[in-house]
Amino acid sequence: MAMGGAVAGLVTSTGIEFMEFVAPSSALAQSTLTPEMALKELLEGNKRFAAGNLTSFEQDLAILRNHTSEKQQPFAAVLACADSRVPVELIFDQTIGHIFVTRNAGNITTSEIIASLEYGAAVLGTKVILVMGHGACGAVDATIQGKEVPGQISALYPHIQPAVDLAGPDLEATVKANAKIQAALLRQASPVISGLVKKEKLLVLAAFYNISSGVVSLLK
């Protein structure tokens, strides 16, 4: 990345320049970036994260804050677990304004999550949505165990139980099944999202984050 005066830019592996601060370009999400290119950008960023070669910290945060103070221009959205070990922007080596993040325990598709991701796709123009489960997920493990828990924590269980029924007591298998089920539910429950998918303007995929290796793998 080159810095000079009020100009800063980052050219990624996809050949897309993320920021042009002297005369800001149109939103990355509104550019010629395809869903496939957006996905590639996420996965390339994860490779950098897993290898310990982060580049997003090299950017001038003051300029970034100024550039994004009145509008956001994310190219991707992620539905992730609320787990503190799953820092989405870090995992994909992205900086301010690049990823539209929604989170809850168990990365489950609720009405509120659907509404948020519809906004990201239809209004902000995100090109890919990843529903990302992770290793050692406490919400999934609690559902498998069926433990008695305080407060409203057990309200998560009905959302995750279909994955338990499908994959059984193996935690990692159930986490992966849950991510795939939630991604499918997102596609099915939202005419807005399914319409964009049909028009090939959006990808909705499930993924698994290995908290030990730092690697994100797509799930089929």
How many Cα neighbours within 13 Å face the side chain of 73?
19
Identify whether 44 is part of a domain: yes
d(CA 126, CA 130): 11
Residue with the bigger pLDDT between 7 and 75: it is: 75
Averaged confidence pLDDT in the chain: 88
Identify whether 1 is part of a domain: no
Identify whether 166 is part of a domain: yes
Identify whether 20 is part of a domain: no
| Greatest mean pLDDT range, 4-8, 15-19, 63-67, 134-138 | 134-138
pLDDT (average), residues 8-27:
38
Print the domain residue range for 149: 27-57+71-219
Identify whether 120 is part of a domain: yes
Burial group, residue 160, by CB count within 10 angstroms (0-12, 13-18, 19+): buried
pLDDT number for residue 31: 64
Identify whether 87 is part of a domain: yes
pTM score, whole prediction = 0.85
Rounded percentage of the chain residues whose pLDDT exceeds 90:
75
Scanning the chain, the segments in alpha helix (DSSP H) are 35-51, 61-67, 88-91, 111-118, 138-145, 157-167, 171-189, 191-198
pLDDT number for residue 76: 98
Contact 127, 201 (CB under 8 A): yes
Identify whether 91 is part of a domain: yes
pLDDT number for residue 59: 78
Q: What is the CATH number of the domain that holds 198?
A: 3.40.1050.10
pLDDT (average), residues 129-138:
99
Identify whether 198 is part of a domain: yes
pLDDT number for residue 13: 43
Total domains in the chain come to 1
pLDDT number for residue 63: 79
